[in-house]
Amino acid sequence: MKKRPVVVRLVGAVLALVLIWHGLATVIYLSGSTRLANIAGPGTINAYMTPIFKQYWSVFAPDPIHEDTELEIRATVDGSSTEWFNVSKADVNRSILHHPVPSRLYLTNFQLTSHYQVSASLLPEDLQQVPGKSYVGQDWQQQLKQDLAANGSTADAEAVAQFIKDETAMTSMASSVARARWGDGVTRVQIRIATIPVKPYPVRKDPNYQVKTTYFDAGWRQIVKVPDIDLAAIASMYGKKAVTANAGQ
């Protein structure tokens, strides 16, 4: 039997190693084990899997996703409030709609929205109203932390710490999008999360069946200016010209 050329065998070996690595990384990532995930070095597996290969098994039975979630933001610009801007729809238009090879980068905002909503719901009962309050002024984060002071169990303190982390990330993202979209006159931002039920299968074609959208409204927040962020790049994704172009696809 004639041997394949050395180059072909080398390419085949490299491809086999890549496939083995990818398979092992996927299995380790899905295992949820921090010890296993650190075999290749701290954070290596997560960095490889996110965001391109991140797995979401909740779309399958026995408990498939039965609702859609959308993130909307608005801002105060020179004393006036803007209209709500749907970040999630912009992500779908830019990364998925009419794309033969959809990008998974939109999952970044989807995950942030999901984490924020969950961490807000896990706050102690006596603190459930805090996310809906407005916090403005340069010391708004300190005001928020004071209102969230946990006097309960260790679990309550952990829930509060997680919400503060997610709140900071959400406000930073919303502030950057708002500044890129509406300019440097932005002083405050507000987010709301829309939950839209999926039509039940038996009535999926019934035009008279109306789903009821529910909203989770956070309060106003003073903007967070993220150091060294590229607002021009964000404007190319969420600016008025970019969104107009995507809407026309």
pLDDT, tens digit, 9 for 90 and up, residues 166-207:
999 999 999 999 999 999 899 999 999 999 988 888 888 888
pLDDT at site 58: 57
Range in 69-78, 79-88, 185-194, 233-242 the model is least confident about: 233-242
The overall average pLDDT reported for the chain is 85
pLDDT of 51 higher than 70: no
Range in 47-56, 72-81, 224-233 the model is least confident about: 47-56
Q: For residue 5, what is the DSSP state? A: P
pLDDT, tens digit, 9 for 90 and up, residues 111-157:
899 999 999 999 998 899 999 999 998 899 999 999 998 666 777 88
Question: In which band, very low, low, confident or very high, does the pLDDT at 54 lie, cut at 50, 70 and 90?
Answer: low
pLDDT at site 211: 87
pLDDT at site 248: 44
Type and span of the H or E element at 20: helix 6-31
pLDDT of 34 higher than 70: no
Nearest partner of 222 among 172, 181, 177, judged by Cα: 172
Q: Where are the beta strands (DSSP E) in the chain?
A: 67-77, 80-81, 85-86, 186-197, 214-217, 221-222
pLDDT at site 68: 86
Query: Quick check: 114 and 69 in contact, CB under 8 A?
Result: yes
Q: 142 is written with which tokens?
A: 């300190």
Q: For residue 137, what is the DSSP state? A: S
Whole-angstrom distance, CA of residue 23 vs CA of residue 10: 20
Q: Encode 64-78 in three state secondary structure.
A: CCCEEEEEEEEEEEC
Question: In which band, very low, low, confident or very high, does the pLDDT at 35 lie, cut at 50, 70 and 90?
Answer: confident
Segment 205-221 shows an average pLDDT of 91
CA dihedral 181, 105, 224, 86 (to 10 degrees): 50
Segment 212-230 shows an average pLDDT of 92
What pTM does this model have? 0.72
Angle between helices 154-182 and 140-147 (to 10 degrees): 150
Question: In which band, very low, low, confident or very high, does the pLDDT at 33 lie, cut at 50, 70 and 90?
Answer: low
188 three-state secondary structure: strand
pLDDT at site 63: 59
